[in-house]
Amino acid sequence: MIVRTLPALVLIVAGLAAAAPQALAQTGFYLGANAGVTRAEIDEDAINQAVVGVGGLGVATTSDQSGTGFKAYGGYSFTPNVALEFGYFDLGKFTTSTTTSNLGTVDAEMKFKGFNVDVVGRIPLGDSFALLGRVGVINTKQDVRASGSTGAVLTDDTSKTSWKAGIGVEYMITGGLGLRAEGEIYNVPDGPDDKSNVGLLSVGLLYRF
């Protein structure tokens, strides 16, 4: 996926931030929140193969890989170019439906939420506008609920620590009030032994104290 190129772009942005002019003195504490759309990686073929492996016949899987997510964060800008952020995120819900000719239908839903610590690089461009790049560590909990046409229900949860990365823009509207638009990738659990990526495209507001 194209989103896998984001970590490399973040490194480029972080390198440029070190040489960027400090045009706007944005230092100190800030709070913010973003909301937007999410996109997951769901391998329908892998699901089909797993069901065939337990005796399923005529297997077909469909999925809804789009969701709605949000994040809330607080941070401290040590300089106009470097900040540390702590946050909470919820990447929404994604669903699959697997039908078979001999075992009935299984519907499943997956939810991802957790906490993050990010290093944010910022390149001021004039008095109000700036480019952003971020890398961070996340701890994500995956909640799974599966229900079959026979009435059986299975629930499970998995937590893992991994990484996130993103790029974005910031525009200070007036005083301490600003607007952010960002694209981020979260490397989340995919069962107990694997990981996958969920993308978040979001917009939101922040306030600098």
Q: Can you tell me the distance from the alpha carbon of 123 to that of 29, in angstroms, rounded to the nearest whole number? A: 18
pLDDT, position 15: 52
- Kindly report the average pLDDT of the chain as a whole number: 87
- Please state, as a whole number, how many other Cβ atoms lie within 10 Å of the Cβ of residue 8: 9
* pLDDT tens digit sequence for 92-150: 999 999 999 888 888 999 999 999 999 999 999 988 999 999 999 999 999 999 888 77
HEC string of the chain equals: CHHHHHHHHHHHHHHHHHHCCCCCCCCEEEEEEEEEEEEECCCHHHHHHHHHHCCCCCCEEEEECEEEEEEEEEEEECCCCEEEEEEEEEEEEEEEEEECCCCCEEEEEEEEEEEEEEEEEEEEECCCEEEEEEEEEEEEEEEEEEEECCCCEEEEEEEEEEEEEEEEEEEEEECCEEEEEEEEEEEEECCCCCEEEEEEEEEEEEEEC
Straight-line distance from the first to the last Cα atom of the chain, in angstroms, rounded to the nearest whole number:
38
pLDDT, position 16: 43
Q: Can you tell me the distance from the alpha carbon of 127 to that of 79, in angstroms, rounded to the nearest whole number? A: 15
pLDDT surpassing 90 at residue 4: no
Q: Taking the model in full, what pTM does it have?
A: 0.83
* pLDDT tens digit sequence for 24-81: 457 899 999 999 999 998 888 888 888 888 888 888 999 899 999 999 999 999 999 9
* pLDDT tens digit sequence for 11-39: 444 454 444 444 345 789 999 999 999 99
Question: Is the domain covering 6-208 a CATH 1.10.3720.10 domain?
Answer: no
Contacts of 176 (CB under 8 A, 6+ apart): 30, 207, 208, 209
Q: Kindly state the percentage of the chain with pLDDT values over 70.
A: 87
User: Exposure of 199 by Cβ count < 10 A (0-12 exposed, 13-18 middle, 19+ buried)?
Assistant: buried
pLDDT, position 77: 96
